[in-house]
Amino acid sequence: VKGVFKIYKKFENLDEEKKNRIINASLEEFSRKGYAGASTNEIVKRAGISKGLLFHYFENKKYLFKYLTDYCIEVTMKDFYERIDNDETDLFEKIKNIMVIKAELLDKYPAIFKFIEVAYLDSSPEAHEIMENRSQEVLNSSIARVFTNIDTSRFKDGFDLEKVINLVLWSLEGYATAEMNKAKLTSTDVDYKKLFEGVDVYINLLKQSFYK
């Protein structure tokens, strides 16, 4: 319990079980209906608490949303950085490492990931205001921290390395997104094994082009 959460002291002091009931009920409702569509009535019903209590803890809907945002980023980021292999120097292995971690987190915290996605894309002014800086800040810091340590000697000479790395990143992100969309469309769960097999084909293509 630190930093960002000071305003929510009352809530943070609750026993874990109740906290989780409230968090999960809120995540689900916001995820399903977006910021404006979400009903605090539904949340308290699902969480099994009284109307007044929710506002006792969070003051209003917007702050509840803000709390959830902070909470979700905190949880996922912490887990993410703990798992990342800082000694990996091969660009492609690093990216694969990240993809695997992302997939595992998505499996471990599906509700949280869904909420982050919804919150990030929500177009209500309140959600916008809250997400504005957070997302970019997080993204930037992470990319920077992650892509230090890359062994540049493996690349063919004469390339602008930053640009090559960008290309590789965009390509593999494109691959992941395309596969995710395919899964969404057929409403099947994402098959991570296949996902990683598929990515190797593209990685080989890219290696052929950019590695010595």
Instruction: Point out which residues bind its own copies (CB under 8 A).
Output: 31-37, 118, 121-125, 136, 159-160, 163-164, 166-167, 169-175, 178, 181, 185, 201-202, 205-206, 209-210
203 touches which of DNA, its own copies, none (CB within 5 to 8 A by kind)? none
CB of 136 to its own copies, least distance (A): 6
In sequence order, what E strands does 26-153 have? Answer: none
The site string for DNA over 42-71 (x = CB under 7 A, - otherwise) reads x------xxxxxxxxx-xxxx---------
CA atoms within a 13 Å half-sphere pointing along the CA-CB vector of 155: 19
124 touches which of its own copies, DNA, none (CB within 5 to 8 A by kind)? its own copies
- Scanning 39-47, 136-144, 179-187, 190-198 for contacts with DNA by CB under 7 A, the matching segment is 39-47
CB of 56 to DNA, least distance (A): 5
CB of 170 to its own copies, least distance (A): 2
- Select 124 or 142, whichever has its Cβ closest to its own copies: 124
Q: Which residue type is seen at 141? A: S
42 touches which of its own copies, DNA, none (CB within 5 to 8 A by kind)? DNA
- Select 61 or 94, whichever has its Cβ closest to DNA: 61
- Select 8 or 210, whichever has its Cβ closest to DNA: 8
CA 34 – CA 166 distance, rounded (Å): 32
Angle (CA) 167-173-179 rounded to 5° is 135
User: CA 198 from chain center: how many Å?
Assistant: 22
Q: Which of 67, 80, 82 is nearest to 115 (CA)?
A: 67
- Select 17 or 82, whichever has its Cβ closest to DNA: 17
Residues 126, 35 contacting (CB under 8 angstroms): yes
- Select 14 or 167, whichever has its Cβ closest to its own copies: 167
52 touches which of DNA, its own copies, none (CB within 5 to 8 A by kind)? DNA
CA 207 – CA 198 distance, rounded (Å): 15
CA 148 – CA 152 distance, rounded (Å): 11
Backbone torsion region of residue 158, taken as left when φ is above 0, otherwise alpha when ψ lies between -120 and 50, otherwise beta: left
Task: Give the C-alpha distances (Å, rounded to integers) separating 179 from 98, 166, 187, 195.
Answer: 16, 20, 12, 7
Q: Which residues bind DNA (CB under 7 A)?
A: 10, 13-14, 18, 38-42, 49-57, 59-62
